[in-house]
Structure 1
């Protein structure tokens, strides 16, 4: 048991208020099970391959699925990210997550879509994110792989925190997006597309700081179940992303 990776007591105190209340029979130790969920996501394992010290693999699976449906992990990420303070700069970008054959289904079954699309690279999903000036994710959204960057930005626009500047690549050079940022009193540092008749100047030195969001995506993809999407349902896949972002950047 001492060789297993476990959440510390301080980390557990920060996330326990978001756990659902236990009804009837007491739950298996939350610290062990949540640590087991994290271990599985980080190492890309099947739940049944998790070390026995984390508890029954069926409990790890059931707890993850049930709490994903309740949005527990999403709420933990959003609450901890909101405590990070007001950023001076925001950075926006998107990255593809290749769908494993176990998740590669385009059929819509149930209330929510799979958030899996077909591109030249095969079946994949797209993770859209906004991070602060320290490269920590603040807002994330999952979409089909073929969705354009600026359409993905529309999914997160209403949730943008107050900031002075937003950095983005050419994929976000759209007039409506620049206007929406101006309405929120956020200046856009976005290079113009090659086909724009009148290029809009941007701050080149400031734009170079956008590498921080690329580093953020790289750290998320170090977790094997994030780099490759194994979960067929969008809510479980997004819960895994929220868990990884919370552990890496906010705990």
Structure 2
């Protein structure tokens, strides 16, 4: 029997959320299918190499692809993240190396795989709450600057109080955008020979920005996250959602 992740209590919680979408039936084989998806996320192996204890590999992959297409796996993460504490929100991005097998999707889109000095890469743009737990994320090509999707992340927040970012988000237009939403910003300024705002910035709060870095470190324990193997953007986003979902489960049970 291959090693699994979920306890009975945690599986029941996830099953209830999945059933609430009205898009799946309560089938007994769903649990091992779900465990097979998590096993692949944890190990990064090709789908064909899944241990037979999870069922036929093609059945597990088809179910994952179907759930991804329906948005069920993203829904799991978004439902669990409703407990987020929005007092402080930390933003950052992290570049993920895209494996050569993840390129060449038969679509007319980039699938958020870009060319940079490091080769084929994807970037995860993430917002975490005051406790360092993920709230929402976006994907982009690896060469995109963090500020490109900053407003998109803020738009997804349930509440806006204080946004904390590094120098990559140093933009007056972004600061104004957050202020218009009723929030305030703690963003380090690039060193252009000017000390504007450096004395009034909350450096104590800024030091807690390591919380978002810790979140990236947590999900990069999973090999299918730290290296991208999925050709389609939605499938990789579903894998990332599962990794963030596992961070939230201990808060519930």
**What TM-score comes out, normalization by structure 1 length?**
0.90
- Change beyond 3 A, Cα 1:229–1:85: closer
Unpaired runs of at least 5, structure 1: none
Instruction: After TM superposition, give the deviation of residue 196 of structure 1 in Å.
Output: 7.3
What residue is the counterpart of 1:222 in the other structure?
A: 221
Deviation at 1:43, TM superposition (A): 0.9
8 A contact 1:40–1:46 mirrored in 2: yes
For the residues of structure 2 that align with 1:185 and 1:196, how far apart are their CA atoms? 30
What stretches of structure 1 move > 4 A for 4+ residues in a row?
none
Check if 1:37 corresponds to 2:37: yes
Structure 2 residue runs of 5 or longer lacking an equivalent are none
Give the whole-Å Cα distance in 2 for the aligned partners of 1:52 and 1:6.
17
Aligned residue pairs total: 244
Cα 1:6–1:95, aligned 2, differ >3 Å: closer, same or farther? closer
Deviations 1:43-91 (A, max 9, x none): 1111222222111111111111111111111111111101x14332100
Shift of the 124–167 alpha-carbon distance from structure 1 to 2, 3 Å rule, reads same
Q: How far is the alpha carbon of 1:139 from its aligned partner?
A: 0.7
Check whether the contact 1:6–1:32 (CA below 8 A) recurs between aligned residues.
no
Query: Would you say 1:204 and 2:207 are equivalent positions?
Result: no
Distance of 1:154 and 1:88 partners within structure 2? 18
TM-score, normalised to structure 2's length? Answer: 0.90
Q: Could you give the per-residue CA deviations for residues 127-162 of structure 1, whole angstroms, max 9, x where no partner exists?
A: 000000111110100111111111121222211232
Task: Confirm or deny: 8 A CA contact 1:193 1:199 kept in the other structure.
Answer: no
Q: In the alignment, is the contact (CA less than 8 A) between 2:147 and 2:169 conserved in 1?
A: yes
Inter-partner Cα distance in structure 2 for 1:219 and 1:32: 24
Deviation at 1:228, TM superposition (A): 0.4
Given candidates 135, 158, 161, the residue that maps to 2:158 is 161
Structure 1 178/221 Cα, relative in aligned 2: closer, same or farther at 3 Å?
A: same
Q: CA RMSD of the aligned region, Å?
A: 1.9
Displacement of 1:6 in angstroms is: 4.1
* 1:184 pairs with 2:178: no
